[in-house]
Structures are given as structure tokens and as C-alpha cells.
Copies of this chain bind each other. A is one copy, B any other.
Amino acid sequence: MGENVGASARAMANFGLSDMAIVNPRDGWPNVKAADTAGKALPILDRAVITQTVSEAVAECQFVLATTARERAMQLPVLDARAAVREMAARIRSGQRCAVLYGAERTGLENEEIMLANAVVTIPVSPDYPSLNLSHAVSVLCYEWMMAQPLPMGEVGEQRETGEGKSSLVSNIPHLKFADANFDLSHRERFTATRAELEGLFTQLESALDGVNFWNVPEKKALMWRNIRASLLRADLSAQEVATWRGIVRALSK
């Protein structure tokens, strides 16, 4: 389906890939629906290589992965998507050309086509509905490819190293931006408040609460106050935020 080919081109462009080959397109080529769906990824379709057989399409490649759910039948190594892109990245660094094969959505790859591959790549799916849309499968592989590109911490936006090789799915990706991979808040560039600043807020808040007889039962104050402090401590406030909260306490107590 043209829409699937176009959507796949879009996913490739989103994740920095550019080289597509299309084998024996069912509805001829070029395809208006593919172009409509590709959006800004139209150049990938314009440059796509059209061949009559998979064999021609991968002729210049050293490493070929086949996406299939029939991995058990083929006696080929089976990699998940994450391991597959690592393997490709290593091979591309050493100068190899790599390709990933996708079958037509309803029929998948023929057995003879899978036999052209070095390994099978699988995507884990629910047994209740295992049939992935073509462009969704492409999205997952291309996303994993993007995730596998190392970017040193603190160098967001800088140029990455370029792999020497080139593959039929994979190409040069300049100026990538990656999100922080954990809950580390350092990217917020806030200046975390000092303990002294925090204690200033705590003292002011405690005094304000004393002033309005907040602690109905005096014996409970110690525990309640510890919990209030703890909730503010967990917020990991910046110096600016401490000042804001002091302003809030001051304004509300007036």
C-alpha cells in the first residue's frame, strides 16, 4: 500500500535515515498516495531504488536483517530490535553496508527472501494481535537506531561522530538532540537551594503556622511538621523557588 510506504519514509526521516529500496511495487511507481503520506520525507521516495527482486535490492550489502515473526523456521540468528541496531552500528563503523528487510503488510516476507538475510530481527508483540502496521515496525527499528547513536553527556546539539559505512536504511545524522535518560534534574540548570536558604523558608513557615494556631493538637505538631518539611525537601527547590515560597507564605499570612 502506498500509504504504508509513504508513512515508512516519514518515520525514516524522523529518525534520521534516508536510503529506501522498494521491491516490485504492487501499484507501480511513483505512487501518489505514498507521496501524500510521506510529507516532508518526499525526497526519500524520490531517491528510492526500485528493483524487481529483494536479491537485487540487497546486492551491495554486507549485512541484512529480515523482520519476520516466523523466526523459528529459518535457522537464522534471532535478534531483537535493540540488539539488531547495535550489531548494525558496529558493522557500519567497520565499513559494512547494512539493510533491514520488511515484507508487505499482509503477507510478510517470503521464505526465500528471509533466506537472503544474515539474521532475523523481531519486535515483541502481543499474541492477541501480533500484526504490526508496516510503518509502525519501521518506526520501532528507526527509533532504536536513533537511540543507539551515542551522544556524550553535555554535548547536546554538537556534532556526532559519523559512521564510516553506509547502509540502505541508515545514513548520516548530524546535530542530534537527546533527552536526559534518567530522572536527573541537572538539565534544569536551576541553582539548587542551600540548606541555609531552605531553613530560612522552614523557619518562616513554622512561625506563620504557629501564628494561626495551625496545630490543633499540640502533641501532633512534631510529626506533622516533619512531614511538611519532608514534602518541601523532596521538591528539590531552587534558590529562586525558595524565595517564591517565602513570598507565598508572607503574602498569605498578611
Q: Which residues of A contact B (CB under 8 A)?
A: 7, 10-11, 13-16, 39-41, 71, 75, 77-83, 87, 119, 121-133, 135-136, 139-140, 143, 146-147, 149, 151, 157, 173, 175-183, 185, 187-188, 205, 208-209, 212-214, 224, 227-228, 231-232, 234-237, 240-241, 244-245, 247-249, 251-254
Contacts of A232 in B (CB 8 A): 235
Known: A75-B188, A127-B176, A214-B247. 12 other contacts (CB 8 A): A13-B126, A14-B125, A14-B131, A16-B126, A39-B131, A40-B131, A78-B187, A79-B183, A127-B157, A214-B251, A231-B235, A252-B253
Q: Give min CB distance, A4 to chain B, whole Å.
A: 11
Q: Determine how close the nearest CB of chain B comes to the CB of A120; give it in whole angstroms.
A: 8
| Distance between A199 CB and nearest chain B CB, rounded to angstroms | 17
B83 engages A124 (CB within 8 Å): no
A13 & B129 in contact (Cβ 8 Å cutoff): yes
Provide a sorted-by-A list of 27 A–B residue pairs whose CB atoms are within 8 angstroms.
A10-B129, A14-B125, A14-B130, A14-B133, A39-B131, A40-B129, A71-B179, A79-B179, A80-B147, A80-B181, A81-B143, A82-B147, A121-B179, A124-B143, A124-B147, A126-B173, A133-B135, A135-B136, A139-B139, A183-B183, A205-B248, A209-B248, A214-B251, A228-B244, A231-B235, A231-B244, A234-B234
